[in-house]
Structure 1
């Protein structure tokens, strides 16, 4: 129930949710483990169903699908990558906090950095439901909308959660976005390397 309330709050009333995040005394483990493992299941399971049961089409051809074994491997790798991505993003937010004048204790900053990472990636996790239909255009639009809202959440939440002025929060948020883009590119490169090792998708004829 707490997870649903958190997701609903960050999507419908982010200003109030950021205040709740700031005042929350949960530990790093509680923040991360109570949300990310469950949210990461959405795109992982949705993509598994989409590529094995629905498939995608190129032009007017028949739907292209992946084998079950191939989809299981790729979905598992996706799940692990999502967990690692949110964790690393949270660590970068925490690491940069001193640079931008966050004066809270180390434990408090650690909580805040992780909470920010969880909150700003929630829209992207939720948009993963569209992978049930692996249409390139549908999912591109969904991810663009979710990504735009995630950027809004960063700029909205940073001064509240980190208790810093808006000028420093703007620079801090811009740095977080840059880190997020670097992580995205790294994930794409890692995918190419994995496929090059022969662990890529296996299509059904």
Structure 2
């Protein structure tokens, strides 16, 4: 798992070939990667929301109660797992149009590894800041897009004529899934879970 992470960041071409080979030999090989790395943004969010707090104005920070932060962290974890699974379903469904025949597990695994930059970007939740979060999200999106366009043809063993349109279609659906999952999470958070905010504390 660690080797795949390093290769995805340094040698993505070789990483995708190795990942596809392992998925063929051992289905669901992606699960430890998905289940463990998805914890990173959730844990960082819990720590950041309870200890650091969000800076909503120049003179205050707003924190969450432990119970509310735990609810939000669990919600983020489940939403991330659901979004990854949903992307895998779409990747599998669209594969028929590009003469690829991956299994559903292989497609979910591809989605999980492609989302790795988003998992790592969760580290910024330790110090919640609007601008830092926005910049990090943009950088994670850029590298995840790079992994997608480089990796999909290799993972699906397609030539560039079929691989690039396939990757572009997955990219468009991925953007829709990302927005839909985030909006759904926010609506659920505010309308059903009733977050409890602690008294703002002055910035040092």
Q: TM-score, normalised by structure 2?
A: 0.91
1-structure distance, mates of 2:33, 2:163: 25
**Count of residue correspondences:** 198
1-structure distance, mates of 2:25, 2:68: 38
Uncovered stretches (5+) of structure 2, i.e. residues with no partner:
200-204
Stretches (4+) displaced over 6 A: none
CA contact (8 A) 1:27 1:111 kept: no
* From 127, 131, 142, the counterpart of 1:148: 142
Q: TM-score, normalised by structure 1?
A: 0.90
* From 115, 118, 123, the counterpart of 1:121: 115
CA gap of 1:6–1:164, structure 2 versus 1, over 3 A, is same
Choose between structure 1 and 2: higher strand proportion. 2
Matches within 5 A, 1:1-205: 3-24=1-22, 25-31=24-30, 33-102=31-100, 104=101, 108-205=102-199
2-structure distance, mates of 1:177, 1:132: 28
Deviation of the 1:199 alpha carbon: 1.1
2-structure distance, mates of 1:142, 1:195: 23
Q: Which moved more, 1:3-12 or 1:191-200?
A: 191-200
For the aligned residue pairs, the C-alpha RMSD in angstroms reads 1.5
Uncovered stretches (5+) of structure 1, i.e. residues with no partner:
none
